[in-house]
Copies of this chain bind each other. A is one copy, B any other.
Amino acid sequence: MLNVGVIGFGYWGPNLARNFNQSNDTHLAMIADFSASRLALAKRIYAGVRTVVDPYELIRARDVDAVAVAVPVRFHYELAKAALEAGKHVWLEKPMADSAARCEELIELAERANRVLLVDHTFLYTGAVRKMKSVIDAGELGDIWYFDSVRINLGLFQHDVNVVWDLAPHDLSIMHFLLNRTPKSLTAVGAAHTGNGIEDMAYLNLDFGDNLVANIHVNWLAPVKIRHTIVGGSRKMLVYNDLEAVEKIRIYDTGINIGHDDLEDRRRTLIQYRTGDMLAPLVPNTEALATEAAHFAECVAENKRPISDGKAGWNVVRILEACEQSLKAGGQRVTLA
């Protein structure tokens, strides 16, 4: 039984608290938040749980084995560092930190301290993404040609990060998990409409140096909520619609056949449609955070590396940094090291 303390009881923290409380493998030991009214709410829901204002008190607490950090990204590094140094395991919200350099520091620190560092890329623990992973790994889609993701809605406007840092970590972490590929370069264009210079919509385009391209549209200014990802392959194609209640994944036996028309014109490529059946495989409908909490406890118990480890977190953050650079340069291409 892993004793977990949760720092931050704002938007996402209550979901963490609820899952750590309900899981067989974890125990919700403590909650920290700066806001008195949020702590009162936490107290009402979790009568037996200790609440504190000072996160460092939670980090130091003897009966806390692991610290979950659910506060704005600019505090991630500091709190995670303190927790690791205090010998705690760490669960860190996405994006992992506000710079790739700080991600690297945290990874190193966790390794030295021999502590588990999990970055909360929640979607990796959904039945849908796991099913997609198994479909892709089995080669069903053939060569992957593109990854196109639209994640838009009327958004929670934030003061410290733009829409790319807020929403794109989901798509980037899913993409990396599914494809296990590293982009060579990228461009990012966006716009800010509220007068504070913080982009509220952006389009990212990642180039992988071969046939594969990825495009991500994130937007806080959309009147409708869309969560729609297409993974196009040479054999089949897959659509992932996270807003569908049941059929979140659809696999299309569809694509093109490339031949060569040798008789009429040798230079000409013959391209023909191919459409076939569509299959919506059964996707288990368990709550991702419940799976992730159990996974976290298991990694601690067995000294394993989480699926969404520091490396995965770093991978996302360094792309976010490059996007920021391209955004500020009007969409100029940025090469990734």
List which A114-163 residues lie within 8 A (CB) of chain B. Answer: 145-146, 148, 150, 154, 157, 159
Q: Residue of B at shortest CB range from A204?
A: B203
Asked whether A194 lies within 8 Å of B280 as measured between CB atoms, the reply is no
Residues of B within 8 A of A282 (CB): 253, 275-277
Decide yes or no: A271 and B194 within 8 Å by CB, A157-B256, A223-B252, A225-B245 being known contacts: yes
- Identify which of B21, B148, B224, B256 contacts A154 (C-beta below 8 A): B256
Q: Residue of B at shortest CB range from A23?
A: B44
List which A277-306 residues lie within 8 A (CB) of chain B. Answer: 277-282
Residues of B within 8 A of A279 (CB): 277-280
Q: Which of A45, A232, A333 has the most CB of B within 10 A?
A: A232
**Does chain B have a CB within 8 A of A173?**
no
Per-position binary interface string of chain A over residues 246-278, scored 1 when its CB falls under 8 Å from any chain B CB and 0 otherwise: 110010111110100000000011011101111
Residues of B within 8 A of A191 (CB): 145-146, 211, 213
A38–B207 Cα gap in the complex (Å)? 43
**Does chain B have a CB within 8 A of A237?**
yes
Residues of B within 8 A of A22 (CB): 44-45
A234–B222 Cα gap in the complex (Å)? 11
The count of identical subunits is 4
Residues of B within 8 A of A217 (CB): 148, 215, 217
Q: Which of A21, A239, A245, A277 has the most CB of B within 10 A?
A: A277
Asked whether A215 lies within 8 Å of B232 as measured between CB atoms, the reply is no
- Minimum distance in angstroms from A226 CB to a CB of chain B: 8
- Identify which of B207, B222, B224, B332 contacts A333 (C-beta below 8 A): B332
- Minimum distance in angstroms from A152 CB to a CB of chain B: 8
Q: Residue of B at shortest CB range from A221?
A: B232
- Minimum distance in angstroms from A155 CB to a CB of chain B: 8
Per-position binary interface string of chain A over residues 13-27, scored 1 when its CB falls under 8 Å from any chain B CB and 0 otherwise: 000000001101000
Decide yes or no: A256 and B47 within 8 Å by CB, A211-B191, A277-B281 being known contacts: no
A5–B279 Cα gap in the complex (Å)? 45
- Minimum distance in angstroms from A302 CB to a CB of chain B: 23
**Does chain B have a CB within 8 A of A73?**
no
Asked whether B205 lies within 8 Å of A193 as measured between CB atoms, the reply is no
List residues of A whose CB falls within 8 A of some B CB.
21-22, 24, 44-49, 145-146, 148, 150, 154, 157, 159, 187, 189, 191, 193-196, 201, 203, 205, 207, 211, 213, 215, 217, 219, 221-225, 230, 232, 234, 237-239, 243, 245-247, 250, 252-256, 258, 268-269, 271-273, 275-282, 330-333
Q: List 10 A-B pairs, minimum CB-CB distance, nearest first.
A: A47-B48, A223-B252, A223-B237, A157-B271, A278-B280, A196-B269, A191-B213, A189-B205, A223-B254, A277-B281
Given contacts A187-B331, A331-B331, 12 further A-B contacts (CB under 8 A): A47-B48, A150-B150, A194-B269, A195-B269, A201-B213, A203-B215, A223-B232, A223-B237, A225-B245, A277-B281, A330-B333, A331-B333
